[in-house]
Amino acid sequence: MKKKLLSLMLAGAMVATVFAGCSSSTGADKATEGDAAAATEEAAGEEESVALMGASDDDHTLTVAAWDANFNIPALQAAEAAYQQKDPDFKLKIQEVSASSDVENAVTLAGASGDYSQLTDIVLFQDHYINKYMTDYPDAWQALTVDADWKGFSDDKLSYSTFDGKHYGMPVDNGASIFAYRTDVLEQAGYTVDDFTGITWEKWLEQAKVVKEKTGYALLSMDHNGDDLPYMMMQAEGQSQWKDGKPNLVGNDTFKSIIEVIVQGAQDGTIILANDWSEYTDSTIIGDQVAGVFNGNWIIATMKQNKDASGKWAITTIPTLSGKEGYAANGGSSLYITSNSKHADLASDFLAYTFGGGDGAIATYDAALTNGGVISCYGPAGESDLYNAPDEFFGGVAANAQIVEMGTHVPAVEQNDYHYPLREKVGALITNVINGNDIDSEIQSAQEQMEFEMDQ
């Protein structure tokens, strides 16, 4: 009996201490908040975690987080070198994280805790996320205070990062989609790239079947786990899967036709729906199973790893339902200034001077293309000699300039916070239809699930 009493008392005492401890510590937290940024910066040097390094205290230094040593980090280094022409003391501290999701998770966690102190002055992340971040954590961002040459960018690219007429993001890489074909394979089947330019999807499916029969190659593949095909195909039609902030699937004939094209292609074996990203890149593209690649132009880096196919690729526009030439974009990322930065003016000036079409733009973009293969979405950058040099990989065509030019035609379509959840639901819908379910009821249930998820 005594034991029980004692244990109860002890437990009670403990609860009391903990509660007391918590309430007093919140007071202490406030006092140390000022030092927190400095402390995290110090800690970040030693820790091996995804914590970002925090903002810079120096007037000539900015911090930035990015993830790809072969792609966007060389682009940032190019911008640093270009800006040093203007400000010789300028330094850009680049924190390399292992994947784009590291930056995205860091933003979500900082936003969730309301503690932005670990965010770098500038963060880089994929365009589709900013909508959600702007809604959820509006006070985490600062608009650019210096105007860049916005006319040089496509409406689509700017539509992501412009809110209430203010520019929050500076686009870095071009997301313009390419549809690349293997000319040698098409030739075997009796076609040229022109036969695949400006055609309807219906004709594409027919011709793809011929290619498949004569050569054994499929004509398209996609990572079905994060299926970007429906999004890009809709954009090529100038349409979105969203309307007035609601999913626009039921009763949307364009959407239904596009799903039917994908399902038909999958059943014919002309479209390979890979189970995951590495199967998509390693096995279908590098593994030489497909004679066509349709994705954001960053996929070229993957295509180049199949060395035997070098020189045999050609780029063209996207088929549409009506047969007009289609343009779309997928991926691409932008730089955003966080509210943790004490040097928003410097950061804005830096971004406008380099990526934004200022005096350092051509130097930045040329070096970014040479060192990281980053293709600009700033139109005038495509006019440089470097961009117009023939590209051996594409049989001597100046593919980089072609891509920049294509990027300026991409129509802006409605974006939404729930881009990724919808993508997943549309992917599941396609799987279910391929497995024999009724397309209308599947579209209905995808729409219902999406509306359910958005109604909280």
Partner 1 sequence: MNKSRSIQRKQQRAGWFFLAPATLLIFVMSFWPMIQAFIMSLQTGSAANMKWQEPLFKNYLRVQKDQLFQLSMRNTFMYLLIEVPIMLILAILLAQILNNKDLKFRGAFRTMVFMPCAISLVSYALIFKSLFATQGLINTVLMNLGLISENINWLGTTSTARAVIIIGLIWRWTGYNMVFYLAGLQNIEYSVYEAAKIDGANGWKTFWYITVPLLKPTIVMTAIMSINGTLQLFDESVNLTNGGPANTSMTMSHYIWNQSLGQGVANFGYASALSFIIFIMVGILAFISLKVGDTRD
Residues near partner 1 (CB under 8 A): 3, 6-7, 10, 14-15, 17-18, 22, 104-105, 108, 111-114, 129, 132, 135-137, 139, 224-225, 273-276, 279, 283, 287, 418, 420-421, 424, 427-429, 431-432, 435, 445, 448-449, 452-453, 456
Q: Toward partner 1, which CB reaches closer, 386 or 454?
A: 454
* Shortest CB 334 distance to partner 1, Å: 15
Closest to 353 in 3D by CA, of 164, 158, 69, 78? 78
Q: Toward partner 1, which CB reaches closer, 112 or 389?
A: 112
User: From CA 449, how far away is CA 421, in angstroms rounded?
Assistant: 10
Q: Toward partner 1, which CB reaches closer, 83 or 418?
A: 418
* Shortest CB 351 distance to partner 1, Å: 23
Yes or no: say if 403 and 369 are a contact pair by the CB < 8 Å rule. no
Q: Toward partner 1, which CB reaches closer, 45 or 114?
A: 114
CA angle 183, 184, 187 (to 5 degrees): 85
* Shortest CB 407 distance to partner 1, Å: 24
Yes or no: say if 146 and 352 are a contact pair by the CB < 8 Å rule. yes
* Shortest CB 267 distance to partner 1, Å: 14
Closest to 335 in 3D by CA, of 143, 105, 206? 143
* Shortest CB 275 distance to partner 1, Å: 5
CA dist list (Å): 228 to 20, 231, 235, 312: 52, 5, 11, 25
User: From CA 314, how far away is CA 184, in angstroms rounded?
Assistant: 10
Q: Toward partner 1, which CB reaches closer, 182 or 423?
A: 423
Decide the pairing of beta strands 177-182 and 292-296: antiparallel
Q: Own/partner pairs for 190-197, CB < 8 Å, 24+ apart?
A: 190/214, 193/314, 193/316, 196/316, 196/319, 197/316, 197/317, 197/325
CA dist list (Å): 454 to 48, 110, 139, 148, 420: 36, 23, 22, 35, 12
Q: Toward partner 1, which CB reaches closer, 81 or 109?
A: 109
* Shortest CB 272 distance to partner 1, Å: 9
* Shortest CB 16 distance to partner 1, Å: 12
Beta bridge partners of 314: 181
Distance of CA 55 to the CA centre of its chain: 24
User: From CA 405, how far away is CA 381, in angstroms rounded?
Assistant: 10
* Shortest CB 50 distance to partner 1, Å: 12
Q: Toward partner 1, which CB reaches closer, 129 or 255?
A: 129
Q: Toward partner 1, which CB reaches closer, 96 or 136?
A: 136
